[in-house]
Structure 1
Amino acid sequence: MKFMASNGARVAALLAGVAVVSSCGLPRSGPTKSEIFAGSVMRQGDAFIVSVNPRVTRATAVTPALGFSSAFRNAGVIGSDIIRPGDSLGLTIYENVEDGLLAKGGLSQLDEVQVDGAGFIFVPYAGRIRAAGNTPEALRGVITRKLDTQTPDPQVIVRRLAGNGATISIVGGVGGQGVYPIERPTRTLLSMLAQAGGISSDPEVTRVTLIRGSRRETVWLSDLYTNPALDIALRANDRIIVDEDTRAFTALGATGTQSRLNFPTPNISALEAIAQVGGLSSSLADPTGVFVFRNEPAEIANNVLGRTDLQGTQRFVYVLDLTEPNGMFEARDFAIRDGDTVYVTEAPFVQWNKTISSLTGTLNQANNLAGIAQ
């Protein structure tokens, strides 16, 4: 019996030793705080580790400033149904005499009058007239005045036979993509978006980009709703692109879930980012170890550290301690940027509990083996 008990004790000791050794490699959600701090440039790594405070928050608060320039905002609305080069017009001219200047009977029709590349048309006895930039009604007045000096009381009708006049194109997250004419009810951006069926993407993160010639400018849809000055007048050949914000951040560690998430609003704080993934895990998270990993451009890096010698992109790890008196406020004010990684470390006792659980399970197995041996 002593021999069997001795064997059982040896098995228990052996298994306990294995458990102690294996506890060094127990599963966990990521690095510990000490391992992250070991990556500092002050130790053996190449990352700057910075505690978040109001000065750091201000230095890193770089968010996309979207909006239209004064050149776009100050452009006045254009008249509806503007004639463009390449349009085909139909002209009907009534003269108040039987033996008219243009035709006998006083009625003459000029079909398929082409607006040339320079924007002009030719009308007999009226000469070369600029049509582009005018509405059909304005052009009618011009032709009438030209003929009035040669035939009494002429009456002119101008019709567009072919051509789109002033048009814009809309693509992306709208109800109906396509080419739309600029008409009296749709001479501004919001009215044209409504004409295209409205917005089909999430309004909170929708951007509206307007391309005019070589210029490309973008505005948040929500700003269009709240700021009437951004509801700019459209111009012929404008291109409108409606798309959702593609910025995203990654959440890892002791949070409610670990995933990559798109920005739910134009701006998001560290506190909101944590809330997006279900908050801190109440059974795992260490509220003193919330980290934001980011690559900072040299300009911001020098500003944060109060230096001028850094060049190129720098690795930064920002530290948030939610247990400090102003910790929650700092997390609320610290802005998350595109590509950030938000990581929450596990509380120290979590690894301890895992070790104890591992040892307890191993000891139970040892006792079972000892019982079998006896």
Structure 2
Amino acid sequence: MRKVLSVLLVALLSSCAKPSDGPSAGSIRDAKFPHSNERVPVIELANAPAVTAAQPVNPHANDAGLTALRGAYNQQRLRPGDVIDVTVLDTGEEGLFSSTNSKTLNLGRFTVDQSGYVSMPFVGRQRVTDSTPEGLQSRIVAGLKGSSVNPQAVVTVVDKPSSAVIVSGAVKSPGKVALTARKEKVLDIISQSGGASVAPPAAMVTVVRGKERASAALDRIMNDEKQNIVLLPGDQVMVDGDAASFTALGAFKSAGEFQFEPGKLTLAQAVGRAGGLLDDRADARNVYIFRNQLIQVPQAASGGKGPVTMVTTAKPVIYHVNMKDASSIMLMQLFQMQKGDVIYASNAGLVDSAKLLTVYQKVPNTAAAPLPGAGSAQ
């Protein structure tokens, strides 16, 4: 009888579903996308772009970031709210001021309205937004040509209350920050606002300039000078403090969600943050990283007309780590964790089998059925 039970138990262990805390290594390698029959790629850690010297990972290779807003900076460009003083001159004998003792006339001070216009005598309503004082002078002279023989104009900027940027979001002192002739950049303004209130990897910086906007991670701006663009009056700087984190599941000593610390986080450090593998449960040969990898894909314009543009999308990928292999430990020090990564340590096969055995052992004994005729022997 015991031999029969043993054979049955072996059959159950080999063919039946075994209790487990998560997917087995085999089911991970057979994983498919929910809405298609396409397999989710499983890549060995040694072949991961993040650790392959020949193909260094650059998640922003086709992402311009804040450089999309780079441009020539001119502190003197006029903005809504600026106050200008306009004086016109006419040196001709039959000019605009020939009947007066003075050849100079101060037209007065004018404030650029929210639409970017000013209305001046003799010249009329002029759009001045993004013009320089010198450029406006030329337009005033052109407007006076019909009534003046040899007109000249002088435009002086009296006040520039618009020469500031607005900083909001995850900074210690949000508000308006004045710009100076030093041509402040993004990091200068964030510093003047008390600095970001979250770790750089967790902070996303967005600059809004008119109808345009561009974003980049704060740590990217700190490491790439091209992203640290010069700000213009009227820009809005928004710091999103969504905390970046990764999750450790399965046979780790401290499974759970962990926020990124300031600076970069490697896979080796992430495993350490989770307390390492459980010696009596984990299969060190089968540790996996689940990631939504950002990739660039071509997208045609609406209706199939116009240029094809590259858009960023996420595609799931799984990386496999054999922590029994000493070389994997070195590779783990090169593999950089990303926001939203999930590390999963699978159980060893014997652990799940032992669970099933425990379940079998806990099945209560049942009373044996009475033999036929036993009740009539009385």
Q: Shorter-normalised TM-score: what interval?
A: 0.5 to 0.7
Is residue 209 of structure 2 the alignment partner of residue 212 of structure 1? yes
Q: Is the 8 A contact 1:296 1:314 kept in 2?
A: yes
SS across alignment from 1:326: helix
Q: Do the aligned partners of residues 259 and 103 (structure 1) sit closer, same or farther apart at CA in structure 2, a change above 3 Å counting?
A: farther
Is residue 196 of structure 2 the alignment partner of residue 199 of structure 1? yes
Q: Is the 8 A contact 2:171 2:197 kept in 1?
A: yes
SS across alignment from 2:252: coil
Q: Is the 8 A contact 1:249 1:338 kept in 2?
A: yes
* Deviates most, 286-295 or 256-265: 256-265
1:225-270 residue CA offsets vs partner (Å, 9 max, x unmatched) = 4554443222233221112355544321001222234444676443
Which of 24, 32, 40 pairs up with 1:32? 24
Structure 2 stretches lacking a partner, 5+ long? 89-97, 149-153, 298-312, 365-378
Q: Take 2:59 and 2:134, find their aligned partners in 1: how far apart are those partners?
A: 48
Code of the residue aligned with 2:75 in structure 1: it is: G
Code of the residue aligned with 2:286 in structure 1: it is: G
Q: Is the 8 A contact 1:245 1:263 kept in 2?
A: no
Structure 1 stretches lacking a partner, 5+ long? 1-9, 94-100, 150-154, 301-311, 364-374
The equivalent of 1:63 in structure 2 is 59
1:206-241 residue CA offsets vs partner (Å, 9 max, x unmatched) = 232222244433333334445544432222332211
SS across alignment from 2:324: coil
Q: Take 1:158 and 1:49, find their aligned partners in 2: how far apart are those partners?
A: 61
Q: Do the aligned partners of residues 234 and 247 (structure 1) sit closer, same or farther apart at CA in structure 2, a change above 3 Å counting?
A: same
Q: Do the aligned partners of residues 55 and 299 (structure 1) sit closer, same or farther apart at CA in structure 2, a change above 3 Å counting?
A: farther
Higher helix residue share: 1
Is residue 324 of structure 2 the alignment partner of residue 323 of structure 1? yes
Code of the residue aligned with 1:29 in structure 2: it is: D
The equivalent of 2:367 in structure 1 is none
Q: Do the aligned partners of residues 273 and 358 (structure 1) sit closer, same or farther apart at CA in structure 2, a change above 3 Å counting?
A: same
Q: Take 2:314 and 2:356, find their aligned partners in 1: how far apart are those partners?
A: 40
Q: Take 2:186 and 2:240, find their aligned partners in 1: how far apart are those partners?
A: 15
Q: Is the 8 A contact 2:19 2:356 kept in 1?
A: no
Larger Rg: 1
Code of the residue aligned with 1:331 in structure 2: it is: M
- Give the total of aligned pairs: 315
1:321-373 residue CA offsets vs partner (Å, 9 max, x unmatched) = 1112422234344454554432111234434665677788889xxxxxxxxxx
Q: Do the aligned partners of residues 274 and 257 (structure 1) sit closer, same or farther apart at CA in structure 2, a change above 3 Å counting?
A: same
The equivalent of 1:275 in structure 2 is 272
Q: Do the aligned partners of residues 287 and 296 (structure 1) sit closer, same or farther apart at CA in structure 2, a change above 3 Å counting?
A: same
Aligned-residue identity in percent: 24
The TM-score with structure 2 as length reference comes to: 0.59
The equivalent of 2:92 in structure 1 is none
Q: Do the aligned partners of residues 324 and 179 (structure 1) sit closer, same or farther apart at CA in structure 2, a change above 3 Å counting?
A: same
Q: Take 1:31 and 1:328, find their aligned partners in 2: how far apart are those partners?
A: 23
The TM-score with structure 1 as length reference comes to: 0.59
SS across alignment from 1:328: helix
The equivalent of 2:79 in structure 1 is 84
Is residue 223 of structure 2 the alignment partner of residue 222 of structure 1? no
The equivalent of 2:120 in structure 1 is 122
Q: Is the 8 A contact 2:32 2:39 kept in 1?
A: yes
Is residue 347 of structure 2 the alignment partner of residue 346 of structure 1? yes
Of structures 1 and 2, the one with the larger relative CO (CA 8 A, separation 6+) is: 1
